[in-house]
Amino acid sequence: MPRFHRFVALSIICAGSVFGQHELGSFAQIAYGGGWQTTFTLVNPSATLLTYVTLNFFGDDGSPLNVPIKDAGTTTSYTVTIVPGGLQSVVLSSPVSTASQGWASIDVSGTVRGQASFRWLLPGKTISEAVVPLSTSGAVACVVPAPASTLILIPFDNTADTYTTSVALANTTTGFLSVPIEFVDQSNKLLVADTLTLTPRQHVAVVMPEAYPVLAGKKGTLRIHETTLKLSVLGLLSNATNSITTIIPFTN
């Protein structure tokens, strides 16, 4: 499955109300350069306690990725301290003409809420932007609610001359993953099936009809047979004008 640079997705992200820093979630896609910018906006909802958040960045091959952080230089890991009731923004931005991509894990000590936004500067200086919000499920804030499911679902739309769907996946573990996937149409008819083999911390991002030509002109659902504890996933829908919006995965 090929990499993609034109369309980029964001993430499933989880952050829990715990103390002692733990890996609590991930951003399935980050990108910068080539007109792309990724911004993490993090809020500490506690009225009394500090929150410490560490973002760890990885390349497509799972190795640490040295990313450019606005006003902070380049690094493979970046920690912010958020005062009670406070907010911190972390911006990945580069003036180079070539886009770079990967994914990020998030470690948290304390409590955190927030969102990630993805901005693309289009020709003609038009800005297209998509946002992934955090929502609360019990003691854990997740886009995909806890408990983790073993089936992740993403609707897709590749209507000719109208929409194109992309998807990003990141193996958040230090082991190998073999992930069965199925694309079905609106009548639940199987269009194509595949098994993705992901090495530790590997990241894959593709434009669906380019990776699987049978999906061109089709609408339906992508079924991913893996737990959200091991795989971070999100989709992106773009239209004919290259405006973008995120597709939030859901579980069964």
Provide mean pLDDT across the span 95-116: 88
| CA dist., res. 101 & res. 120, Å (int) | 13
Domain ranges of the chain: 14-142, 152-251
CATH fold group of domain 152-251: Hypothetical Protein Tm1070; Chain: A (2.60.290)
Angle at 88 between CA 71 and CA 133, to 5 degrees: 120
Q: Band of the pLDDT at 133, cuts 50, 70, 90?
A: low
Is the separation of the CB atoms in 8 and 168 below 8 Å? yes
Backbone angles phi, psi at 232, to 5 degrees: -100, 130
**pLDDT one-digit tens code per residue, 187-235:** 999 999 999 999 999 999 999 999 999 999 999 999 999 988 888 888 8
Is the separation of the CB atoms in 130 and 9 below 8 Å? no
Q: Band of the pLDDT at 9, cuts 50, 70, 90?
A: very low
* Least confident residue range of 18-22, 113-117, 125-129, 161-165: 18-22
pLDDT at position 26 is 81
Looking at the domain that runs over 14-142, which CATH code has it been given? Answer: 2.60.290.11
Average pLDDT, the chain: 83
Q: Do domains 14-142 and 152-251 have the same CATH topology?
A: yes
- pTM for the structure as a whole: 0.80
Residue among 170, 158, 194 at smallest CA distance from 1: 194
Provide mean pLDDT across the span 153-159: 95
Is the separation of the CB atoms in 177 and 169 below 8 Å? no
